[in-house]
Structures are given as C-alpha cells and as structure tokens.
Chains A and B, each alone.
Chain A
C-alpha cells in the first residue's frame, strides 16, 4: 500500500515537487519560530537567582561629567542618608543593575583556557540582601578589605565549565594579559553562587563573576544603586526620596525606577520580536493552508480518470477517500523528513544558541504536527469530492 502510494506520488513528481518545496519552507519557518519561542519560555522559567520585588533602582548622573575622587565621599553620604530612611530596608551599590541589558565582559584564563564571563561588583551584604543563593564557600565581607589579591565569587555555570568537578575554592585565575611571573594580583575564588541573571528573564545564561565593590576606593565609579523598601511603601514616596537625596548630593541627579517596571519594560521589549515573528508565521501558515487546499482541489478534479477507473474495478468510496488523504500525509512526512535534516544542523553545529537540542526538538515536533495537520485538513474536502464522483462519469471522461 505504502509502496504503491509512493509510486503514485513519484509519477506526478513535477507538481508534487513544487508542493514539497512549499511544505518544506513552511516547515522551516514554523520550526524556527517554534524553537525560538520555546527557548524563550524555557529561559523565562529558569530562576533569576535574586529577588526584585519592592526594590528600586537609583540611577545617578554626576552633573554630566566623569567620576571624580570627591564623588566617593558624596556616595558614602548618600548611602548613609538612604540607610537612615525608615521606609528603606537596605541600600547597596550594584554596579550593573538588573534588567537593563548592560554588559560588562572581561576575559579570564585558567590553565591556558580562556573564558569571557560577565562581570559585576556589589558592596558587602548585597548578595545576601538580594536573596542570592550561595552554593559553596562564603560571600565577601569587611574582612576582605585590604587584600592584595581580588576575592571573587563565580556562578555555578562558570565553576563547572572552568573547574569541572574539582572545587573552585581558593583557585587563582588571571585576567588575560596578566602573566604568572608578573606580580599582578590574581583573582581568588572564595565562593560559588547559583546565578545572577543580571540582564533579565529572557536573556541567555552566561558565565558570571562577582567582585567586591570597595567603597573605600575613591576610583571605583558608581552609576547606580539598589534600595529595598519596606513592603507596602507607596510609589509616591519617590518624590520625597529624590528631594532628600538632592539635598544630600546637590551635584548629582537621581532617576528612580522600580525594578518591577524595568522588568516589565524588559519583558515587553524582549518578547516583541517573538510576537511579531509568531504573527507573521501564523499569517504564512494560513496562506499556505489556503494555497494547498486550492492545489489539492484542482489536482483531484484532474485525476478524475484515474480515480474513476479505481471505482469501476471495485474500490469503495471509503478507499478513494483514504487514498487521497494518505497521499497527502505521506507528502507531509517527506517534507518533515527533509525539514528535520535541515533543522537538526543547527544544534549539531551549535552556532546559534537558542536552537539547542531541546528547543530544536520541540520546534521539529511542532513543525511536523502543524505541517501534517495542515495537509490532512486541506485534503479532507477534496478527497470527499473525489470519492463522491460517480464511476460512470469518471470513466466517460476520456
């Protein structure tokens, strides 16, 4: 049966080839969109590694100029003012605040292998207050002040990629360009945390290095702070807060934004391409459905002689109906096989990270289902038409 159907399809390869090209293209479009959406959903479901509720970002603009040494004195004053506010639970320097898409990378080397993690610095206590999870070792604290080496914490992903199963604690790693022989201070890993997905819910997992922000060092510039509010603080508190801060630091400008709003903006901005891609793909699929339906209808009318002959030699309506639908399903499966062979290249080559094995698998599954579903649905009505035609009329055709 299957062999025979394949032969029938082969006999009309001219027309079927074009339909096949259309199906394969549709398959790839659906594959791409479905895989990207499933990857984004997966990212969204992964824990961020910190709490953002009731937290405000305080962005600082220093009179439109660069950080001066005197600004570190102002910063200490600002932090003390913030900590003195009854509505504020804590205030910390977090050099790159969450959900902003800010990016700071620097290459580190360990035993000749190089990694390009993202970097950030925070003041003592910030990781604990942000609800980050420590897996091994310890957080930094006041006892780390004045060390010659730089104590750092790394995330689990970097720890595993760099050190495998060995413990990263106490290991020295170097920034690129710093020789072992030279006396540059090394970076010493003092702890491992689960993750800090700084750029937000819809950004890829990255290697991450967390350094200690030293308030005592006048050269460490600061452009943003995080403050946690007592639950239930009204948004209107913002005006009063900016007022108090402007008195403490008249040269600085403050822009206060709740993290919840930055996150909402981030989610909207990052998911916009998915909505647009999804809508366009849906339009294309509808168009392909109409097109297929038309082509099948025409094909069936033109195969009256062949189908009539089958009826005349005893094939039931049921069987004609089945033949048409099965032929179409088979064609859809061919398309799915070709599409899968193309699609599987992405995770195999690993060039495009959103198309990993998991999301590619889901994408292939979704594309196979939608394309074959489409073919079957589009074949149903033309198949019924073909089956309904009386054998006499069909044979009369010649």
Chain B
C-alpha cells in the first residue's frame, strides 16, 4: 500500500517536470533559510568546542542592584565585590570560574595596529572550559594571585602577532604592558559567549586595581558541578545567598537581583528580556521561535497550496476511478499527504544542503569571528521536523478538496 503511494508519488513527480521543479525549488529555499536559523541557535546553545562541559555548569552573567522604591537601579555584569561576597563563598559548586567580558586591547606589530579581544580570567576558567591547547599550558593559581604578566592566545593571534611561528615563550606589548605567551589554543567562535576571546590574561594583571571595589563590573561566573544533577542545588544556594547581600551603601542599594542559568535559559532570558525575572520561560522562547518560523513559511505555504490545488484538479480522472472503486476520503487524503511529504523531503534535503552551503558562506565572510557551524544531527532533525509541518500545512487543504471531488464529474472530465 505505502509502496504504491511512493510509486505514484514518483510518477507524479516526473509527469510535469516544470511544476515539480517549482515545488521543490520553493521548499528548498524555505528550508534553507530555516536550516540557517536553527543552526545559528544550536551553535549558541549546544555544548560545543571549549564549552563541551556546558551542561555541567550554570552561568551568572547579569546583576542588577536597586532598592525597595527602585529610586536607583544599576545593572550590568557582576563586579568583583559581588564575586567575593556572593559567588566565591558558595559551597555546592565543585569549581567556580570567572572571567571579564572581552575588551578591545591594542597591540602594535611593526607599526600596524592589532585589536584583539582580551579576556581576564581566573585559573579555574581553564578547568571548567575545555580549551583545545595546541601548545603550552594555561595559567595557574599562583600566577593569577601574583598578577603575572602571562597570556594565552588563540591561533589567529599566533598568526597576527608572530606570523604563525611558535609563540610560547615570546613576548608582546598589550596596552603598554609586556606579556609572555604561555599557551596557544584553538579559535573559539564569537557566538560561544563563555569561551570567546583572542587573548586571555590573569584577571589580576592590570595597571591599577580599582575594579576590586566595584559591585557592578565586567565579570561573569560559571558554577561547575562534576555531577550535573546537582546543578539545581547550586542554583538554590546561589538564590538563597542573594538574601544576604549587603552593599557598602545599604540605604541606596538594598536589593541584588541575579540568576544562575544554563546556556539555553540565558538565551531565552536575553531574547524575552527577562534577565532578572524568577523563571526563564524557555518554553515561551521556543514558542516564539516556532511561531516566527511558521510566519515565515506562510507565503511559501500558500504558494504550494495553490500549486497543489491545480495539480490535483489535473488528476481528476485518476481520482474519479479510485472513488468509483470505493476508496474512502481518508485513504485519498492519506495518499495525497504521502505524495506531498515525498516531494517535501526531496526539497527538504536540497534545502538542508543549500542551508549548510549558506552557513559555509557566512563562515567565509568572517561576519561572525571564528564561526564554525558543524554539520549537526540535531539541526538536521529540527529542519526535518519543520519539513513535516510544512508538508502537512501545504497538503491538507488540496487533499481535502481532492477527496471531496464528485466521482461522476471527475470521471467525465478525464
């Protein structure tokens, strides 16, 4: 039975090559765009590259301090004072990494300016994130506490600063301070917010240490657990500890709001602008993304419905015969949906290939620094789920119309 459907579908596909081409072309273009969107989302959320252990940590990125009347509010990333009093004393995390958000530095190489993004981090940063060291080693705890002028650079910086020659042991001047390279790591794309950087230095290696006094500051913390089932416990401890927050100026700043999030929760919060709300509403986020995709597919769907309706009317004879021999409405609808699914899958496969070609193009333009979109099974599966939605949406109305055709009229027309 199913095999018959497939054969018919194949025959129909070959019958009017132009229309089949139009159908497949439309589906492929639509799916290509959707593949690109899904791949980009995956790339931000999935534990890839140096963020391979992302499912074992929660990130604390944003902090808002305010008071009961909200007469003053201030928000940005967390400051060093907050790290000291609210984050480092936490007992449940196995490791606590923290790092400052990337900041543009200046290095001159033979009179040419290079502007690397510089990240200041603690030594646990290297244990929580899984950087691929091509050479050398990360900086250690004693190097951080002694504010050593040591740096880990990525491969792109190895090329930019040292023409790709072995860099470990060499020195360079960053914003007027001399650093020694102790390690070289693989490039990490800009979309990996926890791992992105071009040069990493100990967070203590600064000219002055005014940052030690700030509550609001450039840092993010990663709370790591060997056993990921313990993450909820860590979250509870972090939230509970916020109650103990006491600012130096307790009148003006009595309340601190911050949340510990997985990468997906962080993205949902960012997207829905709920950075400091109690729950992250991941479901709502997925709903919004899905709705946006369906809205985008509206025009292609109507287009396909139109084409399908006229293609079906052309097959009046065949349908008339099948009805005359007792095929039920449900069978006919089923048959047409299968045909449409086959068509959609052919278009969908082309679309996914086209989508990955587009992603490769985006990588090559350098629009997103060090972007590398893997051919990811999840992306392909999600794209195919969208194909099924698409096929059912564009096939249902024409199929119902076909099934409602009067057999006598249909036969006469053939």
Contact present for B299 and A22 (CB under 8 Å)? yes
Q: Which residues of chain B are within 8 angstroms of A63 by Cβ–Cβ distance?
A: 206-211
Contact present for B22 and A294 (CB under 8 Å)? yes
Could you tell me which residues of chain B, from 278 to 318, have a CB within 8 Å of some CB in chain A? 298-300, 302-307, 309-311, 313-314
Contact present for B210 and A18 (CB under 8 Å)? no
Contact of B214 among A66, A254, A272, A301 (CB under 8 A): A66
Contact present for B313 and A294 (CB under 8 Å)? no
Could you tell me which residues of chain B, from 14 to 71, have a CB within 8 Å of some CB in chain A? 18-19, 22, 25-26, 29-30, 33
Complexed CA–CA distance, A280 and B313 (Å): 31
Whether A242 touches B22, Cβ cut-off 8 Å, given contacts A22-B306, A251-B208, A283-B29, is no
- Stretch among B100-108, B157-165, B179-187, B324-332 lining the A interface: B100-108
Q: Which residues of chain A are within 8 angstroms of B105 by Cβ–Cβ distance?
A: 253, 255
Residue of A whose beta carbon sits closest to that of B120: A64
Residue of B whose beta carbon sits closest to that of A239: B108
Confirm or deny: A377 has a beta carbon within 8 angstroms of a beta carbon on chain B.
no
Confirm or deny: A236 has a beta carbon within 8 angstroms of a beta carbon on chain B.
yes
Interface size, A (range):
35 or more
Confirm or deny: A390 has a beta carbon within 8 angstroms of a beta carbon on chain B.
no
Contact present for B307 and A236 (CB under 8 Å)? no
Complexed CA–CA distance, A302 and B317 (Å): 13
C-beta contact mask, A284-295 vs B, less than 8 Å → 1, else 0?
100110111111
Confirm or deny: A106 has a beta carbon within 8 angstroms of a beta carbon on chain B.
no
Whether A242 touches B106, Cβ cut-off 8 Å, given contacts A65-B208, A284-B299, is yes
Could you tell me which residues of chain A, from 252 to 288, have a CB within 8 Å of some CB in chain B? 253-256, 272, 280, 283-284, 287-288
Contact present for A29 and B299 (CB under 8 Å)? yes
Complexed CA–CA distance, A295 and B218 (Å): 59
Q: Which residues of chain B are within 8 angstroms of A290 by Cβ–Cβ distance?
A: 22, 25-26
Contact present for B306 and A18 (CB under 8 Å)? yes
Interface size on B, residues (CB 8 A): 43
Q: Which residues of chain A are within 8 angstroms of B175 by Cβ–Cβ distance?
A: 253
Confirm or deny: A61 has a beta carbon within 8 angstroms of a beta carbon on chain B.
yes
C-beta contact mask, A1-24 vs B, less than 8 Å → 1, else 0?
000000000000001001101100
Q: Which residues of chain A are within 8 angstroms of B115 by Cβ–Cβ distance?
A: 255
Contact present for A18 and B113 (CB under 8 Å)? no
Residue of B whose beta carbon sits closest to that of A301: B314
Confirm or deny: B241 has a beta carbon within 8 angstroms of a beta carbon on chain A.
no
Could you tell me which residues of chain A, from 285 to 341, have a CB within 8 Å of some CB in chain B? 287-288, 290-295, 298-299, 301-302
C-beta contact mask, A36-71 vs B, less than 8 Å → 1, else 0?
000000000000000000000000011111101000
How close is A391's CB to chain B, nearest CB, in angstroms? 20
How close is A49's CB to chain B, nearest CB, in angstroms? 28
Contact present for A287 and B303 (CB under 8 Å)? yes
Contact present for A239 and B309 (CB under 8 Å)? no
> Which 10 pairs from chain A and chain B are nearest by CB?
A65-B210, A63-B208, A298-B310, A291-B303, A64-B211, A290-B22, A22-B302, A246-B176, A287-B26, A239-B108
13 A-B contacts (beta carbon < 8 Å): A18-B305, A21-B302, A26-B299, A63-B207, A64-B208, A238-B113, A253-B106, A253-B175, A254-B106, A287-B300, A295-B307, A298-B311, A302-B313
Please name 13 further chain A to chain B contacts, defined as beta carbons within 8 Å, in addition to the given A64-B218, A291-B303, sorted by A numbering: A22-B302, A22-B306, A64-B206, A64-B210, A251-B208, A254-B106, A255-B104, A256-B113, A290-B25, A291-B22, A294-B306, A302-B313, A302-B314
